[in-house]
Amino acid sequence: MSAQRPKRSSPSRRRFLHQAGLGGAALALGSACSSAAGSKAPEAAQTPQSADSGTSGSNKPVVLSTWYHGLPANDAAWALLSTGGTALDAAEAGVRIPEADPQSNSVGYGGLPDRDGHVTLDACIMDHEGHCGGVAFLEGYKHPISVARKVMEETPHVLLTGQGAAQFAAEMGFQQEDLLTPEARADWQEWLRDGHHAPPVNAQNHDTIGLLALDGEGRLAGACTTSGLAYKMHGRVGDSPLIGAGLYVDGAVGGATATGMGEMVIKVCGSFLVVELMRQGASPQEACEAAVRRIAERQDLEDRQVGFLALDRQGRTGAFAIRGGFNYALTHEGQHGMQDAASLVP
């Protein structure tokens, strides 16, 4: 359950090219950092990592993900990571849990619709070698993250949208479903009765699940999936399906994912920014804080929320948000639970 929106209660690429006619064409919040108000971020947690963070098989797996719905997602990811599974498989398996949960009203099945009553989903996935795929504005498929993985593995493209994404999902054998639950429909109809015809853009209206995983071979991967801003304009796409905005992974450095007001994240290429800052020497915690500060430099914060998570190849983690209330699930050997992120504004 999210703190922001509480529950109501390249193998076959050749084949695709042919079909498409394209053939010729840690754990450590290691460096506690100060907030804008000068307050300290939460104390560093212990790190489970050895100094060797390469692909030697000596790494200890770590998984972290946004919000309360990250706990069951981490469970699913950990089931794979702790038995030798890959970070990529763990990332996908993890976020599929909230995607399928009708009580999670910001992701997948049960997600709140756009202002016209359509549940439209955004997702992307990325591995340590830079392979990536995404879908945006996808209707009728419960697991956009798995469609995104198919985009990555079965096509020459990175992002498919709308009808084209749905057509591809059907071609890949995914089952089409009505994703608007009776509860989500009732919420939407209630919202219509109030006479608003603009989405409420505030800290309560964003709950992506972004998940970062490090496996025992030192491979990083991430997944990000959402139904986006509730009651958004039809056709609106947020940061979550955009590589570099909602998610970015560089196996030599680390990964980052974002939650919150997608437009604010897109404007600073947020997850790419966090990873690049880590590449330049920032700790995951420092990088998340710097990215939030970059947003704050030029954008009106009003009551809006953005949060970043980061995981480097040593297994160190970071988390920081514009305002208080952002929490995340963290799992590694000996720990599985929720953490509160530090923030710029209390």
Minimal distance in Å, beta carbon 227 to ligand GLY? 8
Asked about 120 being catalytic, the answer comes back as no
Q: Looking at beta carbons only, is 225 or 331 nearer to ligand GLY?
A: 225
Helix 87-100 to helix 70-81 angle (10° resolution) is: 150
Asked if 344 and 292 touch (Cβ cutoff 8 Å), the reply is: yes
Residue among 226, 271, 283, 317 that touches ligand GLY (CB under 6 A): 226
Residue that the structure tokens 């998340």 belong to? 288
Binding string, residues 173-212; x marks residues near ligand GLY by CB under 6 A: ---------------------------------x-x----
Asked if 328 and 311 touch (Cβ cutoff 8 Å), the reply is: no
Q: Is 35 in the site for ligand GLY (CB under 6 A)?
A: no
Residue among 145, 229, 277, 295 that touches ligand GLY (CB under 6 A): 229
Catalytic residue among 86, 120, 208, 257: 208
Angle at 144 between CA 341 and CA 221, to 5 degrees: 50
Determine the interface stretch with ligand GLY among 39-47, 186-194, 233-241, 310-318 (rule: CB under 6 A): 233-241
- Structure letter (DSSP) for residue 23: S
Determine the interface stretch with ligand GLY among 47-55, 152-160, 180-188, 234-242 (rule: CB under 6 A): 234-242
Q: Looking at beta carbons only, is 239 or 250 nearer to ligand GLY?
A: 239
First-residue to last-residue Cα distance in the chain: 21
Give me the phi and psi of 286, to 5 degrees please.
-60, -40
The helix/strand/coil state of 123 is strand
Task: Name the residue among 116, 51, 137, 121 with its Cα closest to residue 315.
Answer: 51
What are the structure tokens assigned to 120, written together?
């439209």
Binding string, residues 237-276; x marks residues near ligand GLY by CB under 6 A: -xxx------------------xxxx--------------
Q: Looking at beta carbons only, is 1 or 81 nearer to ligand GLY?
A: 1
Give me the phi and psi of 225, to 5 degrees please.
-150, 145
Positions annotated as catalytic residues are 208
**Residues interacting with ligand GLY, by CB under 6 A?**
206, 208, 226, 228-229, 238-240, 259-262
